[in-house]
Each structure stands twice: as structure tokens, then as C-alpha cells.
Amino acid sequence: GGGGGATTMKETRYFPVGWRDQFGNPMPAVFSNANQLGFFAFGSGALSMTQVVLNDNNSEAFQIVTDVPAGLSSLDVSVDTVQADGSAGQFKLNISAVCAAHGENLTSLAYNTASNVTGTYGAVNTMNRVTATGVNVTGCAEGELLRVQVARDASDAVTSDVSVTGVRLSMIRSLN
């Protein structure tokens, strides 16, 4: 007999943030929340060659955009950060997702409920990783655009910036 049970596969996609092409132009993998249509907006957060800086005094955010694979059932999001100064404490990030089908108005999308994660600052210039598991992907269907937003929670206790160097999306897909 043929056994049953659902078969799943984990697909991982990594997005370096703040990166530029060979001509020094910003690449459109990362978007500021100030511009929902998908272009960089440099006014809300500092952008360097290697990172996006989420300031400590407000709820800044950026988005990663990719396609929704067939059978998406779960999403884990890992965020790589680097501490630039000697501040100690814990920072908080809110990670949420929304999907858009062709023909939808991108400026009126409502993100699903955010997953909240807390990271602890380590030594200066040390990379840290925080992971939100089971990020809500309700309403997402194959072929749509998946927008994952990473936002700084201004209520955290760290008084320094959070420098994000990359985002890893781990998508669990049902194969049956």
C-alpha cells in the first residue's frame, strides 16, 4: 500500500539588504514603509552599502518582496543584525506579511498580525540573528507577491540603532 501523510519541503531565500548593483544604484529587494509601491525611500532610515538602519526613536520599517510558491503553508523569517556601538539591552522587531494579487491596489494592503521577536545586543560589530516562526501568511496564494515587513518596535529599551544586514525567508511548502 501507499502510505499517506503530508509531505513538506522547506525553501529558503536570502535577501541581503542595503545592497547595490555594480554601478552603485540601490537594488529593489528592500523597500521603505514610506513608499508602498516598491521603491527605496531614503528619508525614513539610513541606507549604506551593507545595511538598513532602523532608528531607536520611531517605528521604522522596510519590506522584502518575492513571489508566493505553490503550497505555502508556513513562513519563518530570520533577521541578521549588527550592533554598531556598545549599547546593551534587548531590541524588538515586528515582522508581518501580506500578499497581493495582480490587479490589487498596493497602497491599501492590510498586513496580517505581526509576529514580535526580541534580540539581545552582543559585542560591537558582532552579527546577531532573530527568528520569527510561523509568520501569518493568511490570504496568500501561489503566484501572488509576498511582502514581508520588518519594523522596529519603538517600545524596546535599546537606545541605539538596529542595523539589519540580511533577511532569510524559510517557506514551508506542502507537496501533496
Complete edge-to-edge strand list for the sheet that includes strand 61-67? 30-32, 61-67, 145-152, 90-100, 115-120
Residue-averaged pLDDT of the chain: 76
User: What mean pLDDT comes out for the span 37-41?
Assistant: 32
Task: Provide the pLDDT for residue 54.
Answer: 66
Predicted confidence band at 77 (pLDDT cuts at 50, 70, 90)? very high
Q: What is the mean pLDDT of residues 106-110?
A: 84
The pLDDT confidence band at residue 52, using thresholds 50, 70 and 90, is: low
Residue-wise pLDDT tens digits, 90-106? 888 999 999 999 888 87
Predicted local distance difference test score (pLDDT) of residue 60? 75
pLDDT, greater one: 119 or 161: 119
Residue 39, CA distances (Å) to 33, 63, 139 in order: 10, 10, 24
pLDDT value at residue 2: 53
Q: How many whole angstroms separate alpha carbon 118 and alpha carbon 92?
A: 4
Residue 43 predicted with pLDDT over 80: no
CA–CA dist 166, 60 (Å, integer): 16
